[in-house]
Amino acid sequence: MVKIKIDGIEYEVDEKKNLISAAKDVGVDIPFFCFHPKLSVVGMCRMCLIEIEGIPRLQVACNTKVAEGLSIVTNSPRVKEAREGTMEFLLANHPLDCPVCDKAGECQLQDNSFNSGKGNSRFTLEKRNIPQEEIGTNLIINHNRCIVCYRCVRFEEEMIGESNLGLFERGHHSIIGLAKEEPISHNYQGALADICPVGALLNDKTLFKSRVWWYKSEESVCPGCSTGCKTYTNVRDNKMYRYMPRVDEEKDQYFLCDKGRFDVEWLNSNRLFAYYKNGAVSTGSEVLEEIALSISKAVKIAVLGGAQESNENLQSIRSSLEKFGVPIVMEARVSDAQYKEPEQVDFLLTSDERPNTKGAVEAKFVSNAGVTALRESISKGEFDLVFVIKEDAESVLNGIKPKTLIVLDTNLNTSVSKASFGIPVKAYSEQSGSFTNKNGWKQNFKKSMEPPKGLLSSGEFFEEILNRVSELRSGKEAVVGNR
């Protein structure tokens, strides 16, 4: 740590950081466009100009490292005038189309224009007008909005290892465009739209869907793989529209991959909200009573899956299962990728597509034999009941048909329709909890959607079954009705 002065006040800051990051840590915001803490510094936008004591010319904060005794001024008349000039140049060609731009409400150009701009322009000539292009399988570029910050080009080259974009022409005619004939097809087109500080890069999948100020946002965690990227959920009218990255500098989390970001439709459609019995819609009271009766007569039970569930649900399930009074084998690892250290598919996405395999292992939701040996035992009829929790039962069981198959899921699928019983349960977004990612970080997520009244989580389902089994064994009359 070193001591520096910002606007006459002394602060202690991290000597490894540049001035923008160090100032932000102590509550002083220096405006910028091209800077990003995970990308190389280019100093292209000239928005972060500051005064440094002892240096006659204004300097860019992004390319200035902190040092002991450094003294800077971020709000002098000279600095403000320079920033106003920068904003005037950037807005000279920028269209005033905020009312139809998807970035409105979360746009750095809007923020810096209000905070550091003049409010009027001396530019009287006709603004340039270049048609927008589709440059990716899910990416559009609006050249007129681009401020040539070069973030997108650096992100691709430095984070993804591809060079699909480049800077073409000069001066007034400068544009960012495709450097290849093929459109962008990688897993980070959503991140390119995120990293753009204006509305130049946009995703087709979310284009014109909603205004950002209509969203209800909660802190969450991506359920797409074992990386466990931190997110914000964006919900409107109890419908999930998108995930946005939640920056955590300490854990080096800044981005989201497209696989996790756009995987929202399963939360909005084809949801399972009814109990099923042998492929037909039934009632909760009938299904729960029959399952409880089967458990009270069972000799051995298997529970497969669970790595899609929160740590809290896993603990609740395990607690209930231990009180069933029946030998039970649990195994959350149902794919090969879960039995080894996750492999990186790219710089974020891993081969383990479950968000909580690590948590399931730590909760001892695993067996000594493994899923392959369990399949063989199931095929021999050694288990009276087999529960499958939020997994494709046909894939997990490899076509084996247990005596009684009970599938817990959030969506109506072939596994539910072919099972002895199908149980509707809450999605992760309809409850609060935590996932443990591949590094062992336990990360909390908050409830962001309202479940239908009466819908149980997987943990609550097993608690309800335990109550019914206990009533049967104690000789009491089971309570009638769907509670």
**How many CB atoms are closer than 10 A to CB 375?**
20
First and final C-alpha spacing in the chain: 59
Percent of the chain past pLDDT 90, that is, above it, reads 92
With a cut of 80, say whether residue 341 has pLDDT above it.
Answer: yes
Residue type, 266: W
Residue type, 309: E
What is the rounded distance in angstroms from the CA atom of residue 110 to the CA atom of residue 31?
Answer: 12
Mean pLDDT of 143-168: 95
**Per-residue confidence at 211, pLDDT binned at 50, 70, 90?**
very high
CA distance 142 to 322: 59
**Whether residue 135 has pLDDT greater than 90:** yes
Give me the pLDDT at residue 173, please: 87
Helices 284-297, 458-473: inter-axial angle, 10-degree rounding: 60
Which burial class, exposed, middle or buried, applies to 1 when counting CB atoms under 10 A from its CB (0-12, 13-18, 19+)? exposed
The mean pLDDT of 443-448, rounded to a whole number, is 98
Helix (H, G, I), strand (E, B) or coil at 430: helix
Per cent of the chain over pLDDT 70 is 98
Q: What is the mean pLDDT of residues 294-308?
A: 96
Rounded average pLDDT over 105-112: 95
Question: Do 30 and 48 contact (CB within 8 A), yes or no?
Answer: yes
What ranges in 215-329 are assigned the alpha helix state H?
258-261, 265-268, 284-297, 311-321
Q: What is the pLDDT of residues 462-471, one digit of tens each?
A: 999 999 999 9
Average pLDDT over the chain reads 94
What does the pLDDT read at residue 124? 84
Residue 482 has pLDDT above 50, yes or no: no
Model confidence at 187: pLDDT above 50: yes
Provide the CB-side half-sphere exposure for 184 (13 A, CA). Answer: 33
Q: How far is CA 154 from CA 132, 245, 478, in A?
A: 21, 19, 65
Say if residue 478's pLDDT is above 80.
no
pLDDT at 480 exceeding the cut of 60: no
pLDDT band at 61 (very low <50, low <70, confident <90, very high): very high
For range 371-399, the mean pLDDT: 96
Bridge partners, 221 (sequence order):
230
Task: Give the pLDDT mean for 466-477.
Answer: 84
**125 falls in which pLDDT band (50, 70, 90)?**
confident
Q: Which of 58-67, 118-127, 295-304, 376-385 bottoms out in mean pLDDT, i.e. has the lowest?
A: 118-127
Kindly state the average pLDDT of the residues 112-135. Answer: 89
Which parts of 177-247 fold into alpha helices (H)? 189-195
The amino acid sitting at 271 is R
pLDDT of 479 above 60 = no
Task: Give the model's pLDDT for residue 483.
Answer: 46
Q: How confident is the model at residue 121 (pLDDT cuts 50, 70, 90)?
A: confident
- Both tokens of 44, joined, read 């292209």
CB atoms within 10 A of CB 215: 19
Looking at the predicted structure, is the pLDDT value of residue 251 above 80?
A: yes
Average pLDDT over residues 298-302: 96
Q: Identify the three-state secondary structure at position 60.
A: strand
Q: Is 461 exposed, middle or buried (0-12, 13-18, 19+ CB in 10 A)?
A: buried
CA distance 372 to 388: 15
Ordered DSSP codes for 294-321: HHHH-S-EEEEE-TTS-HHHHHHHHHHH
* Domain architecture of the chain: domains with CATH: 2-75 (3.10.20.740), 276-478 (3.40.50.740)
Query: Rounded distance, CA 315 to CA 91, Å?
Result: 55
Residues 186 and 414 sit within 8 Å (Cβ to Cβ): no
Q: Are strands 230-236 and 59-60 parallel, antiparallel or unpaired?
A: unpaired
Per-residue pLDDT at 343: 96
pTM score? 0.91
User: Phi first, then psi: what are they for 278, rounded to 5°?
Assistant: 50, 45
pLDDT value, residue 476: 53
Question: How many CB atoms lie under 10 A from the CB of residue 285?
Answer: 16
